[in-house]
Every structure is written in C-alpha cells, then in structure tokens.
Amino acid sequence: SRYLPYHQGGTFDNSPYFMRSSMTTGIACEFAFLSGVIAPENEKRAMDIVCDENYTISDVSHFGDIDPQIIEKSMEEALSLREYWKGNFTALTPPSDKRDEIVAYTLHLPCEDRGVILVFRREEAAASFVIKLSDVRPDTEYTLKLSDEDYATTEMTVDGKSLKEGLSVNIEKAPGSLLIFYKAENID
C-alpha cells in the first residue's frame, strides 16, 4: 500500500519519488530520517521544529544538507495537486508491492476535463509505461505538462484518442517518478 492515496501521506525523504508518493490532501515530512538513522532524539527534534508556530518550509537550515529550493519545489508541487483530490481517482495499474512493477494512478476533474497522472517506477521496473486514460474525450486535444525526477518540465499536445488507446512515457531513473498534468485545450 505504499502508493495508495490516503487523507494524509508521510515522507522521510525529499526526493521527488518519495514526495510524490506521499502526496494526498495533506503531507507530513519527517526529515529527521534523512541521515539514514532513525534516532528518537532526531525525531523529537524534528517534531519540535515542525510544530513550532514560527516554522516555515523555507527555513530548513536546521535539517542539515537539505536543499531548501528542492523542498520548496516539492511543496509547491504538493499544493498544486490538492485540488485534484476532489476529482475522480482511477488506478492505472493493479495494486502491487513488487519491485519490478510500475504503479500509476490518475486524478480527474470531469467538469473541467483536466487531471493529473502520477507514475512511479520501482527499483527493478522497466523504464517505459503506457498510459491509458478512460476519462478523456477522443475527439479533443489535450495539453500535457510532464515533470520528471529533476523537476524538468516538458509540454506537448496530444489527441484524446492517443490518451485512450495508449501513450508511452519513459522514466529514466529507478526508482523514479513522473507527474503529468493534462487539460483539454478547449476548456479554460
């Protein structure tokens, strides 16, 4: 159940793969574990810092070698996904805990004909994956914005028929993730 959406997810790592796998309507970050050692004093210290009323995500100097810009980018991305949790959740792959499988799901806002796809390549999974969306209209053009593990974005336009029948995407890193926002072009 590592990648099934819950009301609140938690992460112990700041990589896009782990941050994205924790994204739901809420996210809890346990950066005390980044040293690789789960020590009770580190956890308590992290919780004291995060629970402080003056705590902000941009002030991560107390967590050591974490890059504040990466954390900020991760949190911006998490916040941009919040509205999609009001839409329809559709699993694009069956539940699995196997290291050689890709796990993917979509959140679709039908009234606005737009959504987001989250794809996770596990450690031993193939680099390519075919996305098939049932909630898109075949006669409509869709703008896609893809964000990879380095937060590099690519935009493209595809027809709904390609999204329904299967659009192949690649995830270079393993483990790695891909975030794809899609929107019908004729709807604002």
Convert the pLDDT of each residue in 132-156 to its tens digit.
Answer: 999 999 999 999 999 998 899 999 9
pLDDT-derived band at 120, boundaries 50, 70, 90: very high
Averaged over 59-64, what is the pLDDT? 50
Closest to 62 in 3D by CA, of 79, 83, 45, 82: 45
Q: Is the dihedral of CA 66, 70, 74, 79 positive or negative?
A: positive
The tokens describing 4, both together, are: 């099934």
Residues paired with residue 4 on neighbouring β-strands, in sequence order: none
Distance, in Å, from the CA atom of 56 to the CA atom of 126, rounded to the nearest integer, reads 38
* Residues in CB range of 169: below 8 A, 6 or more apart: 119, 128, 129, 130, 131, 146, 178, 180
Residue 18 above 90 pLDDT? no
pLDDT, greater one: 31 or 125: 125
Report percent pLDDT > 70 for the chain.
66
pLDDT band at 16 (very low <50, low <70, confident <90, very high): confident
75 or 32, which is more confident: 75
Q: Between 43 and 164, name the one with better pLDDT.
A: 164
Residue type, 43: E
pLDDT of residue 1: 35
Q: Are residues 155 and 142 in contact, defined by beta-carbon separation less than 8 angstroms?
A: no
